[in-house]
Structure 1
Amino acid sequence: MNTTKKTISIVIPVYNEAQLIQTSIPSIIHAVEQGLGTQRADLYHLEIVAVNDGSSDQTAQVLAHMQQQEPRIRAISFTRNFGKEAAILAGLQHAQGDAVVVIDADLQHPPALIAPMIKLWENGLLVVHAVKAQRARESWLQRHLAKAFYAVFQSMSGLDLRGHSDFKLLDKQVVQMLLALPERQRFFRGLISWANFPSGQLPFEVADRPDGTESKWNRLKLLRYAVNNITSFSSLPLKLVTYLGVATLLFGLIIGGNSLLQKIEGKAIDGFTTVNLLIIIIGGAILLSLGVIGHYLARLYDEMKGRPAYLVRTDAIDSKDKEAS
């Protein structure tokens, strides 16, 4: 290989996509080569880093076969499902490119956009964000939940991620910065925006999955993902616990004062309505506050343990990784 060539690494997190990746990964490679054109393609070496996030189907076997057929593919398999954020982190750690593109395996991120991203990178931008101009077919509830998440995230962290996706191009120095961060639980999109390197944006329309299936992210997973990402970038929920306590105390004083006044005037209402109301409000506030505090303590507990973000199956590491280890 010509040593003057620059390397473009394409990181593809994969989870239970055995059928889809047989066509999607070759499509990504073809789209990049076609987009660059013959002359510009000769300037780059293409590397595909496919990260199997503990799939329960035949994804690992399919990737191993594809790796044998296409030397530019490097397959990495986790011992179990660690999540997409861990898969992206593993891809960045194993990528050797001067620039790294992160893209989903289901082709909802259009691979034809990679060549324009490389062009912007050639012009000096260190980060290129692919921003959703239009989302794929979603229900009314899904659209509004997404808007609510981005609004809450912006209000708490000060970062505007509306329309952002994990589809990004990163210069090598940006990748090195990300890998130097000590935190274990990460929010890829948030960290890139937080770092604030010189960046550009390219709009895209989210396509439907080629196989016609739905996303593997159910609402419970999305809710957990949203909560983790918000608390990764803001301690405001902890501060809100104090405000909630003050508001509850003031409300209790008002109710208690009114009840005492009615008692003095002989107008007290029989029954335990006031008492029940106070118990419900104060008990709910306490439990909610404990829940918020517990969530942050759980995050601290996970970070303090210092366990790796993922574990790689040693029988699935390619020869280059074996030599490096």
Structure 2
Amino acid sequence: MQAAAASKIYVSRRQGSRPAAPLLSVIVPVFNEEDVIRHFLEATRPVLERSGLKYEYVFIDDGSRDRTADILAEQLQNGLPGRLLGLSRNFGKEAALSAGLEAARGDIAVIIDADLQDPPELIVQMIEGWRAGYDVVYGLRIDRSSDTLMKRSTAGMFYRLFDRLANIDMPANAGDFRLIDRAVIDALLRLPERNRFMKGLFAWVGFPVMALPYERPPRKAGTGKFNYWKLWNFALDGLTGFTTLPLRVWFYGGAFVSLAAFAYALYLILYVVVFGTDVPGYASLMVALLFFSGVQLLSIGMIGEYIARLFNEAKQRPVYILQDVIEGGTPETHEQGERDADES
């Protein structure tokens, strides 16, 4: 484990105030995961039982069009502890995570994807980090060879750009896979924005954090749901949600271009006064016009991105809409499950 710099007094105080038997909520957003969801349950339940904690699943069906909801509803009806939140349509993973955080009842929560690219075995180590006083224990992907070269390259570029532009410290190659304390959950639920870039929000709220390095395996089954267009929009949401530097860049760029244009105009005037002839150069004039027109359109587009997000915030629409909640069994520990089975 790698602990980030944090005041020892806060960590030690948290370590001494942890509840002995916390309830663990496992938040799992799903979208068309019928091929992998049974594998996910088979992999996670033994880990959760070994932890010795009471646990519950919080599945968020983000508008699946396959049998994902049917499979989960069947498992819940057969006693799987937790619940299934059915969103009215596909709102996106960030909205699904927000719904899961609101529905989680645990003292701690683990956010994990159903594709098993985040090893469930690390949950026990995350719990140990939480007991040591850290409110956030996140998985740090040190090997992404299971991803395509294009995805690794673009992800690296985004993290470097975000680190330079944003005013928060968001660790590179840290996904949504993490354990968070109830205090962190409550802090996240107080954030009202509609354009929710959860990786940035996790970093923004702060709290003592610890990194847990791991090698990311390939997807167990099924196919990924993100394409490069969605990833591009996702990156734009992240950058525009946490920095206004692009606007300042265009302000300073515009000031520089204006000064350069004024200096060039002064040069032309002096040239005509001194030599008595105008300056030829229709081709160069057209190139300059087209170039600065492109710069203007690009700057207007950047401003438009911020205005569009202001527009979305001003409408005050909910982040998601629930159409149904299917409850399962009550949270139980492994020992309770074995005792109930013996009595029956």
Scaled by the length of structure 2, the TM-score of the pair is 0.83
Could you say which residue in structure 1 is the equivalent of 2:341? none
Match for 1:21: what amino acid? I
Deviation string, structure 1 residues 47-105 (Cα, Å, up to 9, x no partner): 01011111122222222112112331311111111111111111110000010000011
Aligned residues: CA RMSD: 2.2
Could you say which residue in structure 1 is the equivalent of 2:96? 87
| Residues 128 and 201 in structure 1, CA contact (< 8 A), matched pair in contact too | yes
Deviation string, structure 1 residues 164-185 (Cα, Å, up to 9, x no partner): 1100101011101110112222
Indicate which of 73, 95, 115 corresponds to 2:124: 115
**Structure 2 counterparts to residues 130-209 of structure 1, below 5 A:** 130-158=139-167, 159-209=169-219
**Structure 2 counterparts to residues 52-71 of structure 1, below 5 A:** 52-71=61-80
Could you say which residue in structure 2 is the equivalent of 1:323? none
Partners of 2:260 and 2:41 in 1: CA distance:
59
Mapped pair 1:22 → 2:11: no
**Structure 2 counterparts to residues 1-325 of structure 1, below 5 A:** 5-34=21-50, 36=51, 41=52, 44-158=53-167, 159-211=169-221, 213-253=222-262, 255-256=264-265, 265=275, 266=277, 268-270=279-281, 272-314=282-324, 316-318=325-327
Deviation at 1:247, TM superposition (A): 2.8
Of 228-237 and 138-147, the range deviating more from structure 2:
138-147
Partners of 1:168 and 1:236 in 2: CA distance:
29
Partners of 1:319 and 1:135 in 2: CA distance:
35
Q: 5+ unaligned residues in a row in structure 2: which ranges? A: 1-18, 330-344
Deviation string, structure 1 residues 127-171 (Cα, Å, up to 9, x no partner): 111111111423333222111111111111132421211001010
Partners of 1:227 and 1:260 in 2: CA distance:
44
Q: 5+ unaligned residues in a row in structure 1: which ranges? A: 321-325
Distance of aligned partners of 1:277 and 1:253 in 2 relative to their CA distance in 1, 3 Å threshold? farther
Q: Residue 285 of structure 2 aligns to a residue in which SS? A: helix
Deviation at 1:255, TM superposition (A): 5.0
Deviation at 1:317, TM superposition (A): 4.1
Of 298-307 and 257-266, the range deviating more from structure 2:
257-266
Scaled by the length of structure 1, the TM-score of the pair is 0.88
Percent identity over the alignment is 35
Distance of aligned partners of 1:287 and 1:307 in 2 relative to their CA distance in 1, 3 Å threshold? same
Of 158-167 and 197-206, the range deviating more from structure 2:
158-167
Match for 2:304: what amino acid? G
Distance of aligned partners of 1:280 and 1:68 in 2 relative to their CA distance in 1, 3 Å threshold? same
Partners of 1:290 and 1:267 in 2: CA distance:
34
Partners of 1:310 and 1:188 in 2: CA distance:
15
Partners of 2:147 and 2:297 in 1: CA distance:
34
Partners of 2:28 and 2:131 in 1: CA distance:
22
Structure with higher RCO (Cα < 8 A, 6+ apart): 2
Deviation at 1:113, TM superposition (A): 0.2
Number of residue-to-residue matches in the alignment: 308
Q: Residue 307 of structure 1 aligns to a residue in which SS? A: coil
Deviation at 1:319, TM superposition (A): 7.9
Distance of aligned partners of 1:147 and 1:204 in 2 relative to their CA distance in 1, 3 Å threshold? same
| Residues 244 and 285 in structure 1, CA contact (< 8 A), matched pair in contact too | no
Deviation at 1:4, TM superposition (A): 7.7
Partners of 2:101 and 2:315 in 1: CA distance:
23
| Residues 83 and 328 in structure 2, CA contact (< 8 A), matched pair in contact too | no
Partners of 1:18 and 1:139 in 2: CA distance:
23
Of 90-99 and 64-73, the range deviating more from structure 2:
64-73
| Residues 248 and 285 in structure 1, CA contact (< 8 A), matched pair in contact too | no
Deviation at 1:298, TM superposition (A): 0.8
Q: Residue 166 of structure 1 aligns to a residue in which SS? A: strand
Deviation string, structure 1 residues 274-307 (Cα, Å, up to 9, x no partner): 2212221221121111111111111111111111
Partners of 2:270 and 2:28 in 1: CA distance:
68
